[in-house]
């Protein structure tokens, strides 16, 4: 009989992090990756599990949370999801409703991107541009993104 590790690795994540909606594991993993302490340090499984355990009065271990985060378990109780949502300060709809969950996931992705110093610097510089200038920059980003994905089609004139 195999058992899960008593203290799972904090780096264990879902194998295919997705965008928008996604599996429960992907959603929980996104919360761990994006929602951080004010010092930018990630929360530990133990810390989140203890807070959820205290909130629900039910069993909620770090191992169980790690299993949810990595997709090894995928059927938590509604109370557990409510406790996770409260901890990470997201609406519980993030886990339940596809449209609302997708919108919240996009906001989390944006938050994660803005933590990147280079992205934040570009965004702050774009504040002073005209709407036409912002449109040009957006078009250029689209062209570069297609090129990096290997889509080498001619997008036409930029601007």
All domains of the chain, ordered by start, with CATH?
24-115 (1.10.260.40)
Q: What is the pLDDT of residues 11-34, one digit of tens each?
A: 444 433 344 457 899 999 989 988
By mean pLDDT, which of 94-98, 117-121, 152-156 is the weakest?
A: 152-156
- The reported pLDDT for the residue numbered 129 is 85
For residues 101 and 85, is the Cβ–Cβ distance under 8 A?
Answer: no
pLDDT band at 155 (very low <50, low <70, confident <90, very high): low
For residues 125 and 86, is the Cβ–Cβ distance under 8 A?
Answer: no
Helix/strand/coil percent split, the chain, to 5: 60, 0, 40
Comparing 154 with 97, the larger pLDDT belongs to 97
Q: What is the pLDDT of residues 49-85, one digit of tens each?
A: 999 999 999 999 999 999 999 999 999 999 999 999 9
Burial class (CB in 10 A: 0-12, 13-18, 19+), 88: middle
Q: What is the pLDDT of residues 120-139, one digit of tens each?
A: 677 778 888 898 988 888 88
> What DSSP designation does 18 have?
-
For residues 58 and 80, is the Cβ–Cβ distance under 8 A?
Answer: yes
- CA 30 – CA 26 distance, rounded (Å): 6
- CA 90 – CA 81 distance, rounded (Å): 11
- The reported pLDDT for the residue numbered 3 is 42
Burial call 32-68: b when 16+ CB within 10 Å, e when fewer: bebbeeeeeeebebbebbbbbbebbeeebbbbbbbbb
Helix or strand or coil: residue 11? coil
- The reported pLDDT for the residue numbered 6 is 43
- The reported pLDDT for the residue numbered 8 is 44
- The reported pLDDT for the residue numbered 137 is 85
pTM for this prediction: 0.61
């Amino acid at each position: 009989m195999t058992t899960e590790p008593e203290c799972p690795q904090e780096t264990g994540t879902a194998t295919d992090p997705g965008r928008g909606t996604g599996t429960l594991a992907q959603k929980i993993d996104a919360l761990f990756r994006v929602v951080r302490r004010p010092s930018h340090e990630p929360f530990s499984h133990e810390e989140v599990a203890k807070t959820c355990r205290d909130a629900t009065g039910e069993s909620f271990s770090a191992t169980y949370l790690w299993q949810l985060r990595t997709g090894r378990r995928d059927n938590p109780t509604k109370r557990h999801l409510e406790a996770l949502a409260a901890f990470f300060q997201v609406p519980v709809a993030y886990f339940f409703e596809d449209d609302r969950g997708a919108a919240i996931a996009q906001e989390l992705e944006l938050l994660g991107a803005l933590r990147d110093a280079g992205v934040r610097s570009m965004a702050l510089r774009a504040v002073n541009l005209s709407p036409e200038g912002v449109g040009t920059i957006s078009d250029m980003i689209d062209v570069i993104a297609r090129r990096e994905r290997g889509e080498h089609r001619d997008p036409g004139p930029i601007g």
